[in-house]
Amino acid sequence: MTRWIVLTLAATLGIASSACAGSIVTFEDFGLPPQSYDNNAGPSGQFVVDGNQFNNSYDATYGSWSGWAISSMTDTTTPGYTNQYSAITGSGANNSQTYAVAFTFGQNADPFNPAGSYINLAPGATPLSVQVTNTTYAYLSMLNGGSFVHKFGPGDYFLLDVKGYTGAEGTGKQVGEVDFYLANFLGSNSYIINTWQTLDLSSLAGAESLQFGLSSSDNNMLYGMNTPAYFAIDNLVLGGNAVPEPGSLIMMALGLTGLGGLAWKRRRAAAGGLPSLGWSCRRCTGRQL
């Protein structure tokens, strides 16, 4: 009987452990060869990774896209639009080969806060963290300036905002927002991000989708943001279903233990070690087990 209780408690803890188990979404399974990218998810309009949907819109006429692209590009030196798929780190997080690039200027975007990149999370998943960095295109434009962008200096910033929603692709109720400066010249410690940084998303628990947007201090009054609306992500960490409350776990364990004890008594009764648990036995002995 003692052994049964131990096994029951172990099983209950196993249930709790599996309930909180999650996953780390990487992009290695795409099998991209080195120095390549995929900016066209096809008619479905989404790349699907472990049940999570990354939106993608591709225009075959112009070869343009928005939402997400998958990349293994490593060019950290070439400036301009022709190098829009490279992370400034030269690799994915932890020196992996593959990562995702977001271009947030989707259809009907707010030109001063384009936010056309979404992730619809797999059923039951909750966001915990994600690693982010600049693309080479955005980084070099802020570092050196260019034809339509100015070199970043005091007062400049490039801000990523991540909003969680209860519905798909930014619909439903907003549950929270997490902001992260990809470049920040607002204080004395000025910087432009050129390494992978971990962004805590745990405050967006309960979100079914994540919407990614960008804003910048470098804007055109008519056309909106001048800074290229790109960034890169890797290693999206997701939690599983919520862990049952401690009281629920205790009740579960007691219930399973009780069922185990009943089965133990029945086996003993069948072997002659205990009276039968049937009605006829209780009527004959005058006591109830």
Q: What is the 3-state secondary structure (H, E, C) of 103-158?
A: ECCCCCCCCCCCCCEEEECCCCCEEEEEEEECEHHHHHHHHHCCCCCCCCCCCCEE
Please check whether the domain covering 22-239 is classified as CATH 2.60.120.1350: yes
Could you report the per-residue pLDDT of 212-233, keeping only the tens digit for each? 999 999 999 999 999 999 999 9
Domain boundaries, the chain: 2-13+244-285, 22-239
Cα gap 150→94, rounded to integer Å: 32
pTM: 0.77
Hey, which residues does 225 pair with through a beta bridge?
219
Cα gap 259→254, rounded to integer Å: 9
Q: What is the mean pLDDT of residues 267-281?
A: 43
Cα gap 70→142, rounded to integer Å: 23
Per DSSP, helices labelled H in the chain are 2-20, 136-144, 246-270, 279-285
Q: How confident is the model at residue 108 (pLDDT cuts 50, 70, 90)?
A: confident
Token readout for 44 is 């479905």
Could you report the per-residue pLDDT of 109-140, keeping only the tens digit for each? 999 999 999 999 999 999 999 999 999 999 99
Q: Which residues contact 64 (CB under 8 A, 6 or more apart)?
A: 58
Residue with tokens 């599983």: 240
Q: Which residues contact 11 (CB under 8 A, 6 or more apart)?
A: 256
Cα gap 190→151, rounded to integer Å: 13
Cα gap 82→86, rounded to integer Å: 10
What Å distances lie between residue 278 and 28, 97, 224, 261, 267, CA to CA?
A: 60, 66, 81, 16, 13
Of 12 and 153, the one with more pLDDT? 153
232 in Cβ contact with 135 (< 8 Å): yes
Q: How confident is the model at residue 22 (pLDDT cuts 50, 70, 90)?
A: confident
**Residue 93: pLDDT above 90?**
yes
